[in-house]
Structure 1
Amino acid sequence: MERVFQLAAERPVVMFSKSSCCMCHTIKTLFSDFGANTTVYELDEISGGREIEQALARHVGADSDFPVVFIGGKLVGGANEIMTLHLKGSLSAMLKRAGALWL
């Protein structure tokens, strides 16, 4: 998990994703529509991705809850948490505080 937190701290928004995951695609699109500077790690396409996936599953408590999103170096959660923040109107402010938006 140390590597995950290190990666998450390097960029304003870090998303651990799977290339075939429809919810991952949805959240990537949402961040793109915001114009957010998002770093995406496709775990099924990168070296060591399976180990990161297993570490996230142990930490988050589920092996199928993708994407896993960090904003400002802090674990926010998966698609449900991101969509909840968006619907409450607080996602944009969170992205701004993290330095992911230039607005």
Structure 2
Amino acid sequence: MFASGSIFKTTRHLYIRMGNFTSTSSGGLSSTASTQFVQDVIAHNCVVIFSKTTCPYCKMAKNVFNEIGATYKVIELDEHNDGRRLQEALAQITGARTVPRVFINGNCIGGGSDTKKLHQQGRLVPLIEQCSPCCLDSGTEGSGSGQSESNKL
């Protein structure tokens, strides 16, 4: 779909686990801290997918971004210590509890089917291109390391 030399050259996956981001006395994130964490991740990344590893719609969304070569951040809720609280925070923020919840440039675009539909309509790439330059990949070809990050948004 894209000509050689496109701005979408590399796919990088950043998987993060942040169970120790802000602890409550019970060892997990409070609902306020969960909401703040979700908002911070969304604010600091052009494309964010809140996902679960076994969800076919989550895989669909990731495949769309892989297909176009876009850089995105994934939060795997089923591997996160506070995944349930994060999912509750997402429900409060977006009005939907299902995954994936996909955000581009701070706005929720919906789930896997919504992401695929936007791509088929030719509207997904323009949304990504509106992100600040730090969010678009201009690196070398290849895939990301898939390493977990524990203290970075």
| TM-score over 0.5 for the pair | yes
Alpha-carbon RMSD: 1.5
Displacement over 4 Å in runs of 4+ = none
| Aligned counterpart, 2:44 | 10
| Bigger shift: residues 17-26 or 90-99 | 90-99
Q: Which has the higher helix share?
A: 1
| Aligned counterpart, 2:109 | 76
TM-superposition CA deviations, 1:2-51 (whole Å, max 9, x none) = 32111111111011001110010111011011111010000010122111
Q: In the alignment, is residue 41 of structure 1 matched against residue 61 of structure 2?
A: no
| Aligned counterpart, 1:67 | 100
| Aligned counterpart, 1:85 | 118
| Identity rate, percent | 36
Kept after mapping to 1: 8 A contact 2:42/2:103 = yes
| Change in CA separation of 1:53 and 1:40 when aligned onto 2, cut-off 3 Å | same
**TM-score, structure 2 as length reference:** 0.60
How many residue pairs get aligned? The number is: 101
Structure possessing the higher radius of gyration over alpha carbons: 2
Kept after mapping to 2: 8 A contact 1:38/1:100 = no
Kept after mapping to 1: 8 A contact 2:60/2:116 = no
| Bigger shift: residues 78-87 or 30-39 | 78-87
C-alpha displacement of 1:101: 4.9
